[in-house]
């Protein structure tokens, strides 16, 4: 999707981080930040750092490896991997304000020598500083749901990986045909205009040249987790109103509730997908 189409979903993300840091009196431009300070704020996927640990395990990440983080958000995955495993991580992030925040947070955690997040569209890889490069592995956590052009996307992802390199994806997939209301909620609130079924997802990856695919259905865990997230955010509404104001709280309440309903209805599922370029 275009930057403009993605903007409503991500409008308040960076504001939420700065508001929380201000609330904790850690908002000074040069106040150092620990990775642990940011974990509740900078992981834009489900179940905390579990997916990042899982990615490291599948990619067998070691010190000095070069990892690509596709759709890096504010750099939470990239910083965690670089800090814990000593690898170098290059991120590509479509939205400029997330990318700027990623740079600022990375500088304040002292990881700028190993983490670099560039602004751009992974579909236009020729225009990015990673054009022509090949990485030891790539991760894409909760990103491909925003990108309907799967053939083009996976062709680039294949070219960006060394022979023998591994990838790790966490994403939505379609479990049954959505109703018109569900289709609208996905497109308008989650910026997700297209989802493949499990069979289509695997076939897209195989057609792009990937093999050794492992498809793990995590729908039950994610259904519980997104429900709990929506319930907890709503229960702490007064606290969030005081810290963030009404516009942000209304937006998050609506977003979290929409996602929880999409999983509860059985239309959308969650997948952890790993594989290799032989
Ligand atoms: C749900 S967030 C996940 C961020 C990060 N992977 C994480 O787990 O914390 C999805 C991110 O993908 C980015 N994105 C979507 N389409 C993209 C594209 N075509 N190229 C690069 N980034 C993209 C969005 O801007 C957003 O920051």
8 within some domain: yes
Per the CB < 8 A criterion, the answer to whether 214 and 29 are in contact is no
What's the CA-to-centroid distance between 201 and ligand 1, angstroms?
18
Beta carbons within 10 angstroms of residue 37's beta carbon: 18
pLDDT at 237: 98
pLDDT at 266: 98
47 within some domain: yes
What's the CA-to-centroid distance between 152 and ligand 1, angstroms?
16
Q: How far apart are CA 135 and CA 26, in angstroms?
A: 35
Per the CB < 8 A criterion, the answer to whether 21 and 27 are in contact is yes
pLDDT at 23: 95
pLDDT at 6: 83
Total residue count of the chain as it appears in this document: 278
pLDDT at 42: 97
188 within some domain: no
145 within some domain: yes
pLDDT at 3: 84
CATH code where residue 146 lies:
3.40.50.150
> 88-93 and 115-119 as β-strands: parallel, antiparallel, unpaired?
parallel
What's the CA-to-centroid distance between 45 and ligand 1, angstroms?
10
pTM over 0.95: yes
pLDDT at 240: 98
pLDDT at 9: 85
Range of the domain at 206: 3-169+194-217+271-275
95 within some domain: yes
Which residues form the pocket of ligand 1, taking CB atoms under 6 Å from any ligand atom? 6, 10, 43-45, 71-73, 76-77, 92-95, 98, 121-123, 141-143, 146-147
Tally of structural domains, the chain: 1
Token pair, residue 101, equals 């925040």
233 within some domain: no
What's the CA-to-centroid distance between 146 and ligand 1, angstroms?
8
pLDDT at 4: 86
Task: Give every residue of the chain whose pLDDT is below 50, as ranges.
Answer: none
181 within some domain: no
255 within some domain: no
């Amino acid at each position: 999707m275009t930057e403009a189409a993605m903007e409503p979903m991500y409008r308040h993300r960076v504001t939420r981080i700065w508001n929380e840091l201000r609330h904790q009196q850690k908002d000074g431009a040069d106040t150092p930040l620990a990775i642990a300070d940011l974990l509740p704020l900078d992981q834009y996927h489900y179940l905390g750092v579990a997916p990042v640990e899982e990615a490291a395990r599948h990619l067998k990440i070691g010190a000095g490896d070069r990892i690509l983080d596709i759709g890096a958000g504010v750099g939470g995955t990239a910083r965690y991997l670089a800090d814990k495993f000593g690898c170098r991580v290059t991120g590509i992030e479509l939205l400029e304000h997330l990318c700027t925040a990623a740079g600022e947070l990375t500088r304040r955690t002292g990881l700028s020598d190993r983490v670099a997040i560039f602004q751009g569209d992974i579909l236009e890889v020729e225009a990015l500083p990673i054009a022509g490069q090949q990485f030891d592995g790539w991760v894409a956590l909760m990103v491909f749901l925003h990108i309907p052009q799967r053939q083009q996307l996976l062709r680039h992802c294949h070219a960006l990986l060394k022979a023998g390199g591994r990838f790790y994806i966490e994403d939505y997939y379609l479990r049954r045909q959505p109703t018109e209301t569900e289709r609208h909620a996905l497109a308008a609130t989650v910026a997700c205009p297209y989802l493949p079924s499990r069979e289509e997802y695997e076939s897209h990856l195989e057609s792009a040249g990937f093999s050794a695919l492992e498809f793990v259905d995590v729908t039950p865990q994610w259904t519980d987790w997104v429900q709990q997230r929506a319930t907890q955010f709503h229960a702490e509404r007064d606290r969030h109103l005081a810290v963030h104001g009404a516009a942000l709280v209304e937006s998050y309440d609506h977003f979290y509730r929409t996602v929880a309903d999409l999983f509860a209805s059985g239309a959308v599922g969650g997948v952890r997908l790993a594989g290799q370029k032989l």
